[in-house]
Structure 1
Amino acid sequence: MEIRVLDTTLRDGEQTPGVSLTPDEKLRIALRLDALGVDIIEAGSAITSTGEREGIKKITSEGLSTEICSFARAVKIDVDAALECGVDSVHLVVPTSDLHLEHKLRKSREEVLQQAVDCTEYAVDHGLLVELSAEDSTRSDMEFLKEVFRQGIQAGAKRICACDTVGMLTPDKSFEFYGELSKLKAPLSVHCHNDFGLAVANSLSGLKAGATEVHATINGIGERAGNAALEEIIVSLYSLYDIKTNVNIQMLYETSRMVARMTGVYLQPNKAIVGENAFAHESGIHADGVIKKAETYEPITPELVGHQRRFVMGKHIGTSLLKKRLQELGLKVDENQLIQIFNRVKSLGDMGKCVTDVDLQAISEDVLGIMEEKMVDLEEVTIVSGNKVIPTASVKLKIDNNEILEAGVGIGPVDAAIVAIKKSISDFADVTLEEYHVDAITGGTDALIDVVVKLRYEDEVVSARSTQPDIIMASVEAFLSGVNRLLGDKIKDGSLKKIPDEK
């Protein structure tokens, strides 16, 4: 079974609200669609404007292997505009529902039928291949619809198309509808809109019923809820129906991204086949399964469509995925360090944050730098700060198994916390904060904060860092990490002497 693909990204897709492509942009997309291997490119509607005709002419002048088509109403001026552009064919559209005839055209069935026949003959006589299309066909009287197609075929139309203009079909109705039209024994096209989210399902049902061509757009763009998504149809035919088309499946992802960039219509992350999360895994069970055997939680490989597998770090992560990702980032950790990093990632996930590779790198470097035995450990920190309130901090530290509680005030909450810590260790050492630097690792109000400090004790200077979503905790942990590196061994071996109380 051979299925032909008409891509209408440049016509129906461009009717997406807010999308308007320049002639050069149309050409770039057409070149990509030609390379992709679609059978027909509906390059636009030639009658629309001078700019539209310029765009279509640019495409037809390239000598592409793909058939180039123009949309046309069943009026001679539309056909003349298409002829001026040098297209191979016209998608000749005539409304067939009584709703459209009465309220839009205000013409009788007989008048519309004659108009369709006359215009088809005119286009054929001028050397154009005609695909005769019925607008709002799914709300049309079936006998009248078939009569329009019969007479259109007799007038020279080579293909017929029934449009589900407002997405009224369901998959079972689509099978019956296109099955009935396939009895006309002419090449039949499916053209479905996505108003109820069923465009792809209805298109597949129509093809199963006997249609041999499908109309679709890249990413499913189009007016209102859009059209049937080309990438979903192609991959479904290939993977679920074992039907191949002329489309190069491995180019789908890059084509999708190109169209998204040029139209400004970006995809939701969970978009099937080409969305950024289409092959992303976070759940520990799922990720572990994919690592061991991709088919456990992926129906197709990302490579099939030119995509990439991605593992997301969040609260559902498992240690197997985390360990694998750390190895890929070139970070060697032992089991104790792995658990520390795992707990930090889980904690961030509980706050509603997904951890990027940059976040993970910072967290890992932080953990790898502070995993030494701590002689000075934070047990609790409390901050009071606000309008007309002097920032105050209280900290509880455990120093060599002794609990010390101190409070401090400062010009801000971070300063107050550092003052309280310095008071807590003042009996042992006078540690000086020489430098303090803070960076947001990633964007957004929930970004990880990376704090780097430089501390001095006597003649020794060390740098330390901490990465946390909270700037106060990051600052406190960085300061204490530096303190441990400066004083830890001295506290442990008893070489630190208590500073005498001033008299």
Structure 2
Amino acid sequence: MLIDTTLREGAQLFGAYFKMETREAILSGLLRLGVDEVEVGWVGQEGIDELVRRIRPRAGRTRLSVWSPCRSADIRTASELGVDRINIGIPVSDAHMSKRLGLDRKGLLEKLGRMVLSAGLAGIRYISIGFEDVSRADRDFALDAALLAQSMGASRIRLADSLGVLSPREMGGLVEFFRSQLTIPVAVHCHNDFGMATANAVSALQSGADFADVSVLGIGERSGIAATEELAAYLAVRGGASKYHAEHLRDLCSLVAGAAGVDIPRTKAVAGADIFACESGLHAHALSKSPELFEPYDPSLIGANRKLAVGGKSGKAAVSVALGSARSHYPAGQIEDLVTSVRRMSWELGRPLTQDEFSHLADSARKH
């Protein structure tokens, strides 16, 4: 269901350079997570043959694939890498066909047929054809191309919203259109130019897609693609996909962030440091009674921890919770004074209080 392409699409991030040891570490993290397929890189990438040799003994049920341009020589090279699948990219929009390849529709279909045949003759048993810019292509022509690829022996069609222009509803409709006409699996590759990538990937899967491309932290060209951690967490927590071990996601995100030179916003879904942090009085009080009231899932499911603090937004209930068993030693008036002191100090510091700062204020309130 999940095709992780951090080492192909993610490696195209501006300024990202993954050394061999880093690539192997990322691959190991993806295997621990349990993704269905890893696109380990592209044909001609330095060291890709060595990387496949290193990781092959540990791949288990995870399939290894490689991306290739739609060229016979590259397809033959891919066949010698020892991967399970090849992902051949070819544009299907008129603009890309004419301006990039110098082909009309007939010429592209001829080229596509030859390349699928070439891959089969090279001994590649699983041939995935990626339709680049399909979201701006003539849909009927793209379907003709998909049906041709299927008839020639292709194993999967991958639909790429290359510029991230589709909405979740439009993506769902696109998938349903192809799914209704094809007998082979359908995959999607959703870019994030309008912040729709993960939502589009979810919509695609719910509309019948068999696979969705993802990248850790969503890194890739421009604003990237659907995020591995977001989709894996959603499928594991909300979809009951027990094959994904979401508890490894945050460590994997930290690894990729360091390697790619990308900062993780503290409120970033799944990966952020403060996604289970709370200082709001109402929410903090409710969390102390029943966490599911204000948390979508148990933090431990993704290897995170809950963090509660008092500060300028805290009230009497939240401060009482923070006092714990010691609150019985404080008369009501002292707790109200403590709330005032907490709020004042927090606003002066411009942040919630640390445990030591709160303890100091609490001790002072009790003595007075």
1:212-259 alpha-carbon deviations (Å, 9 max, x no partner): 11111122222211111122223333454x452621122222322232
When residues 356 and 372 of structure 1 are mapped into structure 2, their CA distance, relative to the original with a 3 A threshold, is closer
Structure 1 residue 189: Cα displacement: 0.6
Name 1:172's counterpart in structure 2.
169
Maintained 8 Å contact 1:36/1:248? yes
Q: How far did 1:366 drift?
A: 5.8
Highest RCO, 1 vs 2 (Cα 8 Å, sep ≥ 6): 2
Name which of 54, 58, 74 aligns with 1:58: 54
2:106 equivalent to 1:92? no
Q: CA deviation at 1:61?
A: 5.5
Give identity over the alignment, percent. 29
**TM-score, length basis structure 2:** 0.90
Q: Deviations over 1:304-347 (max 9, x none)?
A: 2221111243311234333444549x999634665554333312
Q: Secondary structure at the residue paired with 1:228?
A: coil
Deviations 1:380-405 (A, max 9, x none): xxxxxxxxxxxxxxxxxxxxxxxxxx
- 1:102 paired to 2:106: no
Which has the higher mean CA deviation after the structures are superposed, 139-148 or 256-265?
256-265
Q: 2:138 aligns with which of 133, 136, 141?
A: 141
Moved more, 19-28 or 124-133: 124-133
Q: Tell me how far apart the structure 1 counterparts of residues 214 and 47 of structure 2 sit (CA, whole Å).
A: 24
TM-superposed deviation, 1:8: 0.8
Query: Compared with structure 1, are the counterparts of its residues 115 and 337 closer, same or farther at alpha carbon in structure 2 (3 Å cutoff)?
Result: farther
Q: Could you say if the C-alpha distance between residues 326 and 15 of structure 1 is closer, same or farther in structure 2, counting changes exceeding 3 Å?
A: farther
CA distance in 2 between counterparts of 1:232 and 1:370 reads 44
Change (3 A) 1:253 1:333: farther
Q: Give yes or no for the alignment of 1:368 onto 2:363.
A: yes
Q: CA deviation digits over 1:107-155, x for unaligned, max 9? A: 2222222222222222222232111110001111111111111111122
TM-score (norm 1): 0.67
**Judging changes above 3 Å, is the alpha-carbon distance between structure 1 residues 218 and 312 closer, same or farther for their aligned structure 2 residues?**
farther
Moved more, 95-104 or 361-370: 361-370
Query: Pick from 273, 277, 281: which aligns with 1:280?
Result: 277
Q: Which among 192, 195, 198 is matched to residue 197 of structure 1?
A: 195
**Any gaps of 5 or more consecutive residues in structure 2?**
none
Partner residue of 1:249?
246
Q: Which residue of 1 aligns with 2:185?
A: 187
For 1:204, the aligned partner's letter is V
- Aligned residue type for 1:66: T
1:351–1:366 CA distance, 2 compared to 1 (3 A) = closer
Check the 8 A contact 2:338/2:362 in 1, yes or no: yes
Distance 2:155 2:342 in 1: 61
Aligned residues: 365
Which one of 310, 313, 316 corresponds to residue 313 of structure 2?
316
- Verify: 1:346 aligned to 2:343, yes or no: yes
Instruction: Provide Cα deviations, 1:335-394, integer angstroms capped at 9, x if missing partner.
Output: 46655543333123334622353xx30453366268656xxxxxxxxxxxxxxxxxxxxx
Indicate conservation of the 8 Å contact 2:86/2:128, yes or no.
yes
Distance 2:245 2:195 in 1: 25
The SS at the match of 2:300 is helix
- Unpaired stretches in structure 1, ≥5 consecutive residues: 374-503
Residue 41 of structure 1 is matched in structure 2 by 38
In the TM superposition, what are the counterparts of 1:283-302 in structure 2 within 5 Å?
A: 283-302=280-299
In structure 1, how many angstroms separate the alpha carbons of the residues matched to 2:59 and 2:262?
29
Say which structure is richer in helix.
2
Aligned to 2:208: 210
CA contact (8 A) 1:6 1:42 kept: yes
Select between 343-352 and 154-163 the one with higher mean Cα deviation. Answer: 343-352
